[in-house]
Amino acid sequence: MKQLLGGLDYLFPHTFLDSNYLFDKDLNNVVPRVGLAWRATGKTVLRVGYGMYVDAGITNLFVNMGLAAPFYLTNNAVFDRAKAPTGQLGNEFGKVPTFSVQFDPTLSPDKGGFIQAKWAERDYVDGEIHSWNLNIQRLVSKTLSVQIGYIGNKTNHFPTGYALNRARPGPGNQQLNRPWPQLFSCDCYHSFGDGHYHSAQFELEQRFSKGLSYRAGYTFGRSINNFRWRQDEFDPKGAKALADWNRSQTFFFTGVYEIPLGSQLKGMAGGLIKGWQLSGIMGIQSGPPVGVSVGADIANIGSRRVLLPNRVADGSLPSDQRTLNRWFDSSAFPLPATYQYGNAGYNALLGPGLVNVDLALAKRWVFRDRQDMQFRTELFNVANHANFGKPNGTVDSGGVGRITSAGQARQIQFGLKYSF
C-alpha cells in the first residue's frame, strides 16, 4: 500500500490491508433451508419452512471505493479543437498523456491538501436474510380452501454506509468542523444494516368450478429497518424506522368468470353472445410511509443527507380533517435550533392508501385447427378512483403537507388477436 502511495504516510482515518483484499474474506456463507408438511386430517395440512439467503452486495459500493483515494487520481486538461493533434499538454487528441501511478506529494493531508476517501470496514461481511413461515390450510369443499399463516424474515449485516468525516453541527467553516479537517468526505461502507418483517396472512381460494375461480387474500404486517444514510453519523440507532416499502394492510382479489349466456344458441347469434369471459383484479393497500425533512442546512454540515425537524406532537390528522392542501399537521414538526439536529425520526407519517380495480372482458372464436381469434376489452382503474401521491414533507417549504400528484386515471383499451 505504501508503494502505491509513493512511500508516503497519508493520514487516512482507516488502515488499509497490505493484501489483495479490500476487506476480510467472508467464509461462513452457509445457507441452509428446510421445509416440513404434515397432513393433520384428510382436509387439514400444516406447513412450516425456514431458509437463509446471502445478499450479493451492492455494485455501487465496490465501484465507489475505486473512485477515491487511494485508488483513483484525476487530472484536468484543456482541449483545443482549432489545433492539430500533437500529443502535447493542452492538445491531447493525438495521444493520451502519461500520468504517474503515485500520488503527488502536495496532495498529502499533512501538507495542506484535501483527499476524498471511500472504503469498506475490514470486518465487512455479506448480508444475511433469514425467512420463515407457518401455514395451516383447510379444504372447505372439493374446490374451496382457506389458509391462515404467519410469515416473517430477519435481515442481518445488510450493506449500508455512513459519512464518517461529515462536518459536525456548529458555526464557522464546514471544512474545519470535520473530524479530520485535512480530508473531504470519507464514505465508509459497513454491514450493520438490520431489518425485520412480521405478518399475518389469510387467503381464500376457489378452484375453477361451474365457470368460476377466484383468490382473495389479506395481509397485516410491518417492516422496519435502518437501510438509510443517517442524519447523525454518530447515532447508530438514528436510522431505525418503517421501511420505505412498508404497507401495514393489503387486500387483493382476483377472479375469472365465464358468463353463462347463450349456451343454447347456435349459428351467428351463438357466436356473438356465448363464450364471453370476465376477469378482474382488485388491490387495496394502506398508505406508504412519508418522511418529514428540513430543506435548509440549519446544522451547517454541508451535507446532501436528509436533515430532520423536531417533533412535538403526532402530526397525523383524523381522516375527516385531511385535505389535499393539508394532509398532516405541519405545526407538529418545528424547525430545530440553529446548529442542531432534529428528533423527528424517519418515515414519521403515512400517506394516502391505494384502491384499484382492473377488469377485462374477452371473447374467443375458434375457426379450425390451430386458428382462432380473440377480442378483449380491458379497463384499468375502472372506478376512476383517485390514488393520490405522497404529501410534501419538507417542513420549511411553502407547500408543506400538500399533495400535488395522483396515480393513473381510468384507461380503456381494445385488442383483437388472430392466432394461426
Sorted by where each begins, the domain ranges of the chain are 1-131+152-195, 210-227+239-420
Distance CA 418, CA 364 (A): 10
- The string of pLDDT tens digits covering residues 229-278 is 788 877 877 889 999 999 999 999 999 999 888 777 777 777 778 889 99
For Cα atoms 406, 409, 411, give the angle at the middle one, nearest 5 degrees: 155
Q: How confident is the model at residue 89 (pLDDT cuts 50, 70, 90)?
A: low
Q: What percent of the chain has pLDDT over 90?
A: 53
Whole-number pLDDT of residue 286? 97
Percent of the chain past pLDDT 70, that is, above it, reads 80
Rounded mean pLDDT, 22-31 = 78
Report whether pLDDT(120) > 50. Answer: yes
**pLDDT tens digits, one per residue of 394-417:** 999 989 999 999 999 999 999 999
User: Average pLDDT of the chain?
Assistant: 83
Q: Are 291 and 393 in contact (CB under 8 A)?
A: yes
Position 362 confidence tier, pLDDT thresholds 50, 70, 90: very high
Name the β-bridge partners of 224.
196, 242
Burial of 125 (0-12, 13-18, 19+ CB in 10 A): buried
Amino acid at 71: F
Cβ–Cβ under 8 Å, residues 54 and 128: yes
pLDDT at 103: 43
Confidence of residue 65 (pLDDT cuts 50, 70, 90): low
Cβ atoms of 310 and 292 closer than 8 Å: no
- For residues 10 and 111, give the distance between their C-alpha atoms in angstroms, rounded to a whole number: 10
Q: What is the pTM for the complete model shown?
A: 0.79
